[in-house]
Structure formats: C-alpha cells, structure tokens
Structure 1
Amino acid sequence: MRLPSQHRSLAALAVAVVAGVTLAGCSSGGATPGTSSPPKADLSGVTLNVAADWSGAEQANFEKVLAQFESDTGAKVNYTSYGSNVATTLNTKIAGGDPPDVAVIPQPGLLTSLAKAGSLIPLSADTLATVKKYYSQDWVDLGSVDGKTYGVWFKGSNKSTVWYNTKVYDNAGATVPKTWDDFVAALQKVSDSGVPGLSIGADVGWPLTDWFENVYLRTAGPEKYDQLTQHTIPWTDPSVIDALTILSKLWSNKALIEPGGAQRTFGDSVTEVFGNPPKAGTVYEGDFVAGNITSQTKSVIGTDAKFFDFPSINGSGPAVVGGGNAAVQLKDNKGAAALMAYLASPEAATIWVKLGGFTSPNNGVDMSAYPDDTSQQIAAALVNAKTFRFDMSDQAPSAFGGTAGSGEWKILLDFYSNPTDIQGTAKALEAAATADYK
C-alpha cells in the first residue's frame, strides 16, 4: 500500500461499496512449501504490460515477483508506475485503446467502476478456484461485481497498528494495552514520566479519518460501519456520536498529547516518537509507519520501535481497518490470464513477503516467510482478524473522503482543533456527505 496521502488521491473514481471482510478461520500456518506453484504456461515470445502505483523500493520488489514469472514462462513483462494517478492514467489509457494487460489498483471503488464500465476481464475458472482456496470468501467478494470476480487482492495493509518507543515505555513503566482504558492509562504513565504520551500528525486530515474508522468499527460494529460507508445511515446517527465522544475525550486531554498536531504532518509525528531525543511516546497509524521509522530515524524496528493492535473498546473483538492492492486483467489474452493466475498464488506473494515491507491477505503464505517478528505480527493481525473493513474514506466520493481542505478531512481537522463540538461536527459531516454522495 502506498502512503495514504498518495493512496487516497485515487478516490476520484471511488464508488461507495461495502467492503466488509470477515477473516475468522483463516489459516496463519500457510501452505506447505513446494505445493503452491501455479501451472507454468509456455509464453515464449509474449510481451505483457503491467501497471501499478508502486515506485522506488516497492517497484523493485514487485519487479522481482514479475521476474520469477518471466523465468517460469518465458514471457517478457514491462512494468510502468502510474504513481499517484492510477485512476486518471488508467482510464485515459482505456479510453485511448491502449490499457495495460494487467493493472494492480488500490481501491475497491475503482475496481467496481472499471468492471461496471466493461473494462475488466473476469477471472478464469482456474484462477478463481485458486483465489477461493487461498483467500477468505469475503476477499473474493471484495474483488467481485454483479456476481463476477475480477480482482486478486495481491497486497494488503493493516491500518490498526499503534507504534510506541520501547525505551520511553520502559522508562515510564508503561505496558502494552489491550483495551481503550488501558491505552489511555499507558499514555498517562508516559506523560507522567515527562514525555507526552501521544503524537498526532493531522495537518491535512486523513490520519484523523483513520482514527475515527478504528474507533467506529469497534464501537458501532461491522454492519453499522458498512451502512455509514454507503451513507445509508446519517452521520448524525447515535453510533457516530458515540465514536466522536470517545475521540473527543482523548483529543481534549492536553496532558496526554504533544501540542501542535493540527499543523504537524504524519511523517513528523513518527519522527517525534522515534527521533533522538524522542518528543512523544506513541503514534497511531498503519503498518506503513515501519517504513517511515526506517527512513526517517535511526530506531530499529522490533527493538526500539514496536507496535500493538488498536485497542479493544467496550469488549470488541479483534478488528482491522485496512486497505490493499488488487490485480485486474484488462486485455483478454493467454499471457494476461497466466499472470493473474500467478499473482493469485502463495508462491508469488511469498517472493515479496521475504523481501519485507509487504503483507499478503493470501492465507496460503507461510508466516515463517515474513522476515522478522514485527512483520509476522502485522500479517497475523490482518489474516486472523475476526473483522476486517476496508478504509471507509477510501470508499467515499472523493469530495467527501479524499480531498484536502474539504469534506471529512477538513471537518475532522476542525474537530481535532475543537474537540468539544461533537454535535456540530456530526451535523457538518452529514451535510457534507449529503452533498457529496450522488
């Protein structure tokens, strides 16, 4: 998954879809090595064009996955990064009659819009069988439109991780919390030790939507989450008021939170916790925080920097808000179909898993393939979560859920700055949603 500021920019074509994924019962043990390879077609002389939003290290790692496909089949695969403009660029290519053979896209809403426009090829029977074998049925549903399955969710992300500085916590005598009350108590202990308990970076607003979604999923439950995602219930619903009230109590507690969060970027919020010296003890955001820690600080993941699952609220079970990247086929040819089958296999996902910085929702991937305890913990939380829901704001119309300075981003940022106005915030969210959900 790209950083959310990039990932969310694709929401221009998002359609509000139900993305509820219940993952109970998924295996965390994985498939037996050597038994998961898909059939290897002879594609000598075939050239395929593949596009995704990945660049830099992510592109290099995905190209290693594609290189194995080339070695197995004899095909040549050309990769193009569409950066943060996947939706716009892909639709321009389609309109011009020159789409890639396969694209990897980061939103269920984009998948839905492309499928409804007739731009996608459904999965072959064999590939669908592979997907059903290694993915929860609900992941299959997430890649399906009107009874046909188009997407292989190659990459997943866990946005229910809370990261902490182990030295700060040890110095404060704080322990890893399981519940929301314990979480607040841990922040208090850290603050009492002389370091603010929590750093929040909220300058453009999107981190606050993730805060809300995690609290709302745990307090309202998955069915209400789906209804609010679709805007079939209003943002003035009592369930929204409940979630905003919990956030209000936390965000109003100036003794726990490092000042300046309304202007602080997400990246800076990570640096505040893991820089030298640390200026806070804890930062909430998704599994991509690990990349920021590695690139921006000298802290070591798994030693100086660890995470715990977003805490339970009112006895809620394990739940994950997250995202992902789905492979879709845009050209009807043998090579593209073979590549889709390959990307559905544990073998393909395992290549990137071993390289690090990657979480697969494919439950055929052996957990031992993840290169360290932290990445195993992230993957296990994603695969074994009792409830998974795709990021709500990424499913909303762009004007509401994905635009700086307007909609949910701005309203929650205003609420962060003035967290006492719960009713006014709910009314503002409802007014914006009513205008933007067409």
Structure 2
Amino acid sequence: MRRQDTPLACCIALLLVSSVACSGLSEKDGGDKELSGTRITVAGAWTGSEQKNFQKVLDAFSDKTGANVTFVSTGNNVSTAVGGMIEDGDAPDVALLPQLGVLGQFERNGWLEPLSVSAREAVDANYADVWREYGSVNGSLYGVYYKVANKSAVWYSPSVFAEANVGRPTTFAEMLSAGQAISDSGLAAFAIAGRDGWTLTDWFENVYLSQAGPEKYDALAAHELKWTDASVVEALTSLGKLFKEDHLIAGGREGALNTDFPGSVEKVFGTEPEAGMVFEGDFVAGVAKDRFGKAIGQDVSFFSFPAAKGGIFPIISGGDAAVVLKDGKNSAAGMKLVEYLATAEAAAVWAKLGGFLSPNKRLDIHTYDSLTTRAMADSLIAAEDQVRFDMSDQAPASFGGTSGASQWRILQNFLRDPSDPESAAAELEEAAAEAYQD
C-alpha cells in the first residue's frame, strides 16, 4: 500500500529539503546515498602509502554514495590471488589488474563484466585513445586506468650532481659519463633494485624503445618479433655497458641483486646515501617523500630517461586497470565505483596527496602536489598515443610478471653476468615462446 503524506510528514520533508539546500549538499557532492548499506570489495597489489591514499579515494566514494568499500591487498601476484578468490567463491567486486596479459586472461576465463555505458563515455571523454585500447580485449572495454606510472624517469640528488659538477644528461652515453663523475666524487652512480626483477624489465624496455623504435617495440611485445632479433641483442649490449661497471652500482652487481625497490630509493635519498641516481617510475617521489621526508623538487629531482644515440626519448607507462568481476557479490555497485574512478573528481583526491599520476586529461594539472609531479603528468598527457605500455605487463604472466621466473630471472642473471647478450636473448626467446604458446 502506498504511504499517504500527512501534513506533519510534509512539514518534515520540507524541513529536510531546506536543510539540504542550506548545507549545500547535492547529488554531486554526497547528498545522494544511492548505495547506502552496500558493501563493495576491491582487490589490488597496493600496500603502505599507496593503499592509504587509495583508501581516501574509496572514502570519498563512500561519502558520495553511502557504500561501504573495503580494500584487500593481494601482494604482487595479483592474478594468482584474485583467481584463487574467484575459484573459492569469494570474488571481489572490483580488481586492479597490473598487466595486460592478466586482463586478457581474465577475459578469456569469462570473469570480467564489460564496462557500463557511463564508464565507456567517461573513458571516451577523459582519456587518450591509447588508454581505451589498453583497457580493451577484442574490442570490448573492461578496464579503467585510474593510476598510471611514467616509467621513463631517472631520479637524482641535486646536491650530489652539484658536488660532481654534472648536469642532466640527454643521451645514454652522457648518463654513463655523469655516473663516472659521481663515482669519482665518492658515491656510486646508480642504485639498482635487482632483487625485484620487474625493475630490470623497465631498464631494458626504455633502452629498447629508444634504440629500436615504437614499431619494433610493439612487435616484440606481441611476440611477433623474436627475442633473438638483432635489436634485442643491441639493447642488451647497451644495458650491459652499465651493468658491467661494478663500481658504478651501489654494492656492485651482487649488492644490486640483494636490493629491493624501496631499498634502491633509500640508497639515494635515505639518511646515508650510497648513490646519486635511481631509475624507476614517478612513484619514486612518493617513497622519497613519505619514507625519508625529502622535498620533491629540492632534495629530489628527475630527468627523462635519456635517448640512445640517434634514438628517441622513450615514454614507457604502466598502470592498474580497474575491472568489475562477474562473480562479485555486488558487481553492480562495483560498476558504480569504476565509473567514479574514470572521473577527474576521483583523480583529484589522490593527486593532492602525491605519489600519483593520472592519464585523465580533464584533471587540472595544478591539482598535483608539486611542480615536479606536474611536469611528469604533463609529459605523459602530451605524449598521448605515443606512450607505450610496459612490455612485460603486456606479456603472459608466466613470462613477464612472475617473481623468480622467466624474464625477471633471466634479466637478473644478465645483471649478475652481462658478458653474453646473445645468450641472454636466446634464453628470453625460449621462455617467451613457451609462454605465448600456452
């Protein structure tokens, strides 16, 4: 039976409407609690400050919609963790997938829900075409890239550069020369996180894109070009010029193989610096700021990964695609969250906190917390379709994204002994051929 409004009820309703109007609440800023009481589970690899900052984004969504959102950290092997949750009947509603190969795998398994019309429209309006392409499988859009990385940056200590009397290098050879000058001044040139094999894939990809160019990069990423190709050997040879110079690396090659990513940042920006430079994505700034209290732009600066002689400046990116899982208990509510993540409003929440880049073109560049981050974001947005996604993240996980196996292990072995690029290329091809066949 439909409730009939009484005069008292009408007065109460009028008072409530007046209160909302006076407080400035609206559907946009949280007055509409369409998901009140709904529980949404999000699974992804983020921990530490990344998890803390993303929780603030989820809290903003909760304030807006009334949903209760829980984040579950899976560890680095997202595909295995989320796959296990699905098979156990405890699938999250939303997952953050860091690899294109995993996105394709989940789609083939029938685990993904195609994005809603609203989400697709937001991606079309707010993102360059390349991000729609990377979020799609067989022409259907499944993923929104909320947070991405500019993985073509070398971070350095300005005081160390000043002490060694070197400037920002623009070629790979100049970077090695600057490294030698830093070494001569008393510190190692580079801190390398060799214990984390993914950092070594980023080293290779930047050198390869610069030397071989975008077309060969795309072909190698799809395994349409073999890893034994001369272009691969050439890139490994260039990388080997750095790896073989034990004195340029903090702790030498063996020390690098025992250094994880946070440790590599600490060796440059910690209380007792051991090196002048560390190569990795924009997230280095977040670690330097949050863990070691460094001022970005003053204590911490960066230069773009230098071009090989006659090559291009590489722009490698990566990111986590927010997808909706069919087997989630509240996948419809999860879709609302993904729609929100595709907006500039959601991007602004984390942009103000630091340690974050968004491919969202509608995000005001001045929202970022520092001039350094704005410069990185601006270069990423300006590149648009020239950006190339992290090659190892495009590969099947068994080749490009498994700790202690395949590409990671082979490049770790190459760091240990960089004397035979041809053999390393042959090992990479053997592992790739097996992975792409599966």
Per the TM superposition, whether the score is higher than 0.5 is yes
Query: Per the alignment, do residues 44 and 399 of structure 1 end up closer, same or farther by CA in structure 2, a change over 3 Å counting?
Result: closer
- Quote how far apart the aligned CAs of 1:259 are: 4.6
Q: Is the 8 A contact 2:100 2:395 kept in 1?
A: no
**The 10-residue stretch of structure 1 (378-387 or 422-431) with the greater mean CA deviation from structure 2:** 378-387
- Quote how far apart the aligned CAs of 1:254 are: 4.4
Q: Is the 8 A contact 1:41 1:338 kept in 2?
A: no
Residue 434 of structure 1: aligned partner = 433
Task: State the AA in 2 paired with 1:343.
Answer: L
Q: Is the 8 A contact 2:153 2:282 kept in 1?
A: yes
Match of 2:282 among 287, 303, 306: 287
Match of 2:195 among 203, 211, 219: 203
Is 1:145 the counterpart of 2:137? The answer is: yes
The sequence identity of aligned pairs, in percent, is 45
Query: Per the alignment, do residues 410 and 112 of structure 1 end up closer, same or farther by CA in structure 2, a change over 3 Å counting?
Result: closer
CA distance in 2, matches of 1:311, 1:360: 23
CA distance in 2, matches of 1:292, 1:300: 11
What secondary structure is seen at the aligned counterpart in 1 of 2:132? helix
- Quote how far apart the aligned CAs of 1:39 are: 12
CA distance in 1, matches of 2:232, 2:275: 29
Residue 367 of structure 1: aligned partner = 365
What secondary structure is seen at the aligned counterpart in 2 of 1:43? coil
CA distance in 2, matches of 1:417, 1:251: 8
CA distance in 1, matches of 2:97, 2:119: 18
- Quote how far apart the aligned CAs of 1:281 are: 1.5
CA distance in 2, matches of 1:37, 1:308: 39
Query: Per the alignment, do residues 249 and 101 of structure 1 end up closer, same or farther by CA in structure 2, a change over 3 Å counting?
Result: closer
CA distance in 1, matches of 2:77, 2:409: 22
Superposed counterparts of 1:321-332, under 5 Å: 321-331=316-326
- Quote how far apart the aligned CAs of 1:181 are: 2.9
Q: Is the 8 A contact 1:164 1:306 kept in 2?
A: yes
Residue 222 of structure 1: aligned partner = 214
Match of 1:115 among 72, 83, 107: 107
- Quote how far apart the aligned CAs of 1:277 are: 4.4
Residue 308 of structure 2: aligned partner = 313
Residue 28 of structure 1: aligned partner = none
Is 1:302 the counterpart of 2:300? The answer is: no
CA distance in 2, matches of 1:128, 1:302: 36
Q: Is the 8 A contact 2:157 2:301 kept in 1?
A: yes
The superposition leaves residues 244-265 of structure 1 with CA deviations (integer Å, 9 ceiling, x where unpaired) of 1211223234454445233334
The superposition leaves residues 164-211 of structure 1 with CA deviations (integer Å, 9 ceiling, x where unpaired) of 111110011100122223322322332333333223232354322211
Residue 8 of structure 2: aligned partner = none
Q: Is the 8 A contact 1:154 1:325 kept in 2?
A: yes
**The 10-residue stretch of structure 1 (148-157 or 405-414) with the greater mean CA deviation from structure 2:** 405-414
Residue 191 of structure 1: aligned partner = 183
CA distance in 2, matches of 1:280, 1:144: 41
Q: Is the 8 A contact 1:356 1:370 kept in 2?
A: yes
**The 10-residue stretch of structure 1 (308-317 or 39-48) with the greater mean CA deviation from structure 2:** 39-48
Residue 174 of structure 1: aligned partner = 166
What secondary structure is seen at the aligned counterpart in 1 of 2:113? coil
CA distance in 2, matches of 1:243, 1:43: 52
Task: State the AA in 2 paired with 1:220.
Answer: A
What secondary structure is seen at the aligned counterpart in 1 of 2:81? helix
Residue 399 of structure 2: aligned partner = 400
CA distance in 1, matches of 2:248, 2:90: 54
Q: Is the 8 A contact 1:130 1:345 kept in 2?
A: yes
Residue 224 of structure 2: aligned partner = 232
Provide the TM-score with structure 1 as the length reference: 0.84
Residue 135 of structure 1: aligned partner = 127
Q: Is the 8 A contact 1:38 1:345 kept in 2?
A: no
CA distance in 2, matches of 1:91, 1:208: 26
Query: Per the alignment, do residues 251 and 82 of structure 1 end up closer, same or farther by CA in structure 2, a change over 3 Å counting?
Result: closer
Superposed counterparts of 1:243-254, under 5 Å: 243-254=235-246
Task: State the AA in 1 paired with 2:401.
Answer: G
CA distance in 1, matches of 2:269, 2:238: 27
- Quote how far apart the aligned CAs of 1:365 are: 0.9
What secondary structure is seen at the aligned counterpart in 2 of 1:191? helix
What secondary structure is seen at the aligned counterpart in 2 of 1:281? strand
Residue 333 of structure 2: aligned partner = 335
**The 10-residue stretch of structure 1 (96-105 or 301-310) with the greater mean CA deviation from structure 2:** 96-105
Match of 1:100 among 68, 73, 92: 92
- Quote how far apart the aligned CAs of 1:123 are: 1.4
**The 10-residue stretch of structure 1 (267-276 or 163-172) with the greater mean CA deviation from structure 2:** 267-276
Task: State the AA in 1 paired with 2:164.
Answer: A
Task: State the AA in 1 paired with 2:98.
Answer: P
Q: Is the 8 A contact 1:199 1:261 kept in 2?
A: no
Q: Is the 8 A contact 1:152 1:328 kept in 2?
A: yes
What secondary structure is seen at the aligned counterpart in 1 of 2:112? coil
CA distance in 2, matches of 1:253, 1:50: 44
Match of 1:272 among 267, 272, 281: 267
Query: How many aligned residue pairs are there?
Result: 404
Task: State the AA in 2 paired with 1:422.
Answer: P
What secondary structure is seen at the aligned counterpart in 2 of 1:355? coil
Residue 384 of structure 1: aligned partner = 382
Residue 420 of structure 1: aligned partner = 419
**The 10-residue stretch of structure 1 (307-316 or 135-144) with the greater mean CA deviation from structure 2:** 307-316
Task: State the AA in 1 paired with 2:382.
Answer: N
Residue 354 of structure 1: aligned partner = 352
Residue 69 of structure 1: aligned partner = 61
The superposition leaves residues 190-238 of structure 1 with CA deviations (integer Å, 9 ceiling, x where unpaired) of 2333333223232354322211111001111122112212222111101
CA distance in 2, matches of 1:178, 1:83: 36
The superposition leaves residues 292-334 of structure 1 with CA deviations (integer Å, 9 ceiling, x where unpaired) of 3345545433212211111122344443222111111224765
**The 10-residue stretch of structure 1 (361-370 or 53-62) with the greater mean CA deviation from structure 2:** 53-62
Task: State the AA in 2 paired with 1:121.
Answer: E
CA distance in 2, matches of 1:171, 1:437: 48
After superposition, the CA RMSD in angstroms is: 2.7
Q: Is the 8 A contact 2:136 2:142 kept in 1?
A: yes
Task: State the AA in 1 paired with 2:427.
Answer: A
What secondary structure is seen at the aligned counterpart in 2 of 1:197? strand
What secondary structure is seen at the aligned counterpart in 1 of 2:253? coil
Task: State the AA in 2 paired with 1:388.
Answer: V
Q: Is the 8 A contact 2:296 2:370 kept in 1?
A: no
Provide the TM-score with structure 2 as the length reference: 0.84
Task: State the AA in 2 paired with 1:158.
Answer: N
Larger radius of gyration: 2
Residue 262 of structure 1: aligned partner = 254
